[in-house]
Amino acid sequence: MSSQWSMKCLRLAALAMSACVLAACTPGSSSIEASTSESPNLSKALSSLPVQVQDLMGKTGVPGVAVAVVHDGTTTYAEGFGVANLDTGAKVDADTVFQLASVSKPVGSTVVATLVSDGTISWQKPVQSLLPDFALGDPWVTSHLSVGDLYAHRSGLPDHAGDDLEWLGYDQTQILNRLRYLPLTPFRASYAYTNYGIMAGALAAAAASGSDWPTLSDEALYQPLGMNRTTSSFQQYIAMSNHSVGHERVNGSWRVTPEQFNDDAATAAGGVASSVNDMARWEAMVLGQGKSGDTQFMRSEALVQALFPHNLSKPLPPSADKAPGQYGYGFGLAVNGLGHTVISHSGAFSQGAATFVGMIPASHLGIVVLTNGYPMGVAETVGMTFLDNAEVGSPTADWWAIYSKAFASIRQPTGSLTSATPPERATPSKPAAAYAGVYRNDYFGQAIVTQHQGSLTLAMGPQGQRRWALHHWDGDTFTFTLAMPEVSDDSLSAVVFDTKRKTMTVEFYDDNGLGTFARMN
């Protein structure tokens, strides 16, 4: 596991891609009976849904859950469970507003699709023609990069590019400007999930419309669809009545997360907040290929482009009876054992949001599950179990076992020295003054090492707002405890100084080879 992986996965995306893809959602056909768009098992699936939700809430203690089901363009089920806020005891209902986390990506994709529909933009529109200052590390890639490329995660940017800068405190403009310093994998021939890639694509679309992204989302999608309890602004979300808050788990007990996560900097990728009633309206429009009720809300061709596979999010599996995972423009795609396309996406914040949307167009069926607890796999398990029950009559896999294991693995300790013990006869360090100073690189900016009575502190980010005490390990190697909610408390990052070359390498930030800083003084 890479040193940043825990932070990245839970920071915005959880498992990020199609939830079906995670478990290679293509069970053998021998276990599946024929199904039709009438979903003969739907009544049974609906009746068992509350029991499944309550069972998982009992197992995990997740404070609040809301679920809605759409079939044939109609909301056939919408219900809330538990509490929206443990401190106030406010109950969850179908209008309670939750943070969507990365389910914001497919929602935002449909915002762009409205502009494609009216001819304002195309998915193939070069981003730099709309955002002249935006650039990646390769000038040719920069000039050819399209809105669709960014929404399909095929720009060549590394996984979760820019998320580390956000956590350090950099703003949207600074983060987008620094993406040009990241190494690239082959353009349109690789997949890496990028929140700020999506955000750049969204900003290009907003520029084409002459608006900012939250306003565009509201005027192009939320208001026309009657999604009156949906917003792409954190301040509007927390100002809403009947809104849920995030909860974290500390020593086995749940509590309201002290600092709620504000994702305005990457709002198109993770900053939408909505209720299940509103999301049901959205799913009905998507399943209707752009039709809402009796109104053709957008041209079906514009939306279908987003639902078409444009990239492989998971390589070909070793088994011939399973299809590779795919990604459209902001939508995860897979094929189930009936040969039906499953459109889905997960989302999560470690500060307390875990969400899932899943749709099967062949059955005119969709489900949305929103929760307000640290991600543990509850939303995905409820969603995938329901879709199986509705299509097949029973689960095709033990989804809870699959997802709970996957989420638990994310919080495994990281860092090359995490499981090691300091040498009994460690080489002494040099005097603290030999290490103290201002270091810098283009991507992360300044890193300042200060000394006080022989002890060292590392500060990174604007105004040095992220700080860690450095502890001597051996020779010129020090460590710090990561101390962030996204990773295990046992995780350590090595910090290695080279006083001859006047460099410092911070292991936790070295995934892309950019963790080395040059000393400036």
**Residue 460 · residue 447 · CB < 8 Å:** yes
Are 186 and 232 members of one domain? yes
CATH number (domain holding residue 453) = 2.40.128.600
CATH number of the domain residue 392 falls in: 3.40.710.10
- Residues 205, 331, single domain; the answer is yes
Domain boundary among 410, 443, 478: 410
33 within some domain: no
Nearest to 273 by CA among 250, 308, 315, 240: 240
**AA identity, residue 310:** H
Residue 270 · residue 195 · CB < 8 Å: yes
403 and 438 fall within a common domain: no
Supply the pTM of this predicted model: 0.92
- Domain carrying residue 464: 432-519
Domains of the chain: total: 2
357 domain-assigned: yes
Helix (H, G, I), strand (E, B) or coil at 508: helix
Do 82 and 92 contact (CB within 8 A), yes or no? yes
Domain boundary among 410, 444, 471: 410
- Tell me whether strands 492-498 and 503-506 are parallel, antiparallel or unpaired: antiparallel
Asked whether residue 364 falls in the same domain as residue 485, the answer is no
pLDDT in tens, the chain (521 residues): 333 333 433 443 434 344 444 444 443 332 323 333 455 699 999 999 999 999 999 999 999 999 999 999 999 999 999 999 999 999 999 999 999 999 999 999 999 999 999 999 999 999 999 999 999 999 999 999 999 999 999 999 999 999 999 999 999 999 999 999 999 999 999 999 999 999 999 999 999 999 999 999 999 999 999 999 999 999 999 999 999 999 999 888 999 999 999 999 999 999 999 999 999 999 999 999 999 999 999 999 999 999 999 999 987 766 776 778 899 999 999 988 888 999 999 999 999 999 999 999 999 999 999 999 999 999 999 999 999 999 999 999 999 999 999 998 877 778 899 889 989 999 999 999 999 999 999 999 999 999 999 899 999 999 898 999 999 999 999 999 976 545 556 789 999 999 999 999 999 999 999 999 999 98
**Pair (364, 500) in one structural domain:** no
Q: Are 119 and 192 in contact (CB under 8 A)?
A: no
Q: Are 314 and 370 found together in one domain?
A: yes
Asked if residue 188 is part of any domain, the answer here is yes
Question: Are residue 139 and residue 267 in the same domain, yes or no?
Answer: yes
Q: How far apart are CA 138 and CA 120, in angstroms?
A: 27
503 - beta bridge partners? 498, 518
Q: How many CA atoms does the CB half-sphere of 8 hold within 13 Å? A: 21
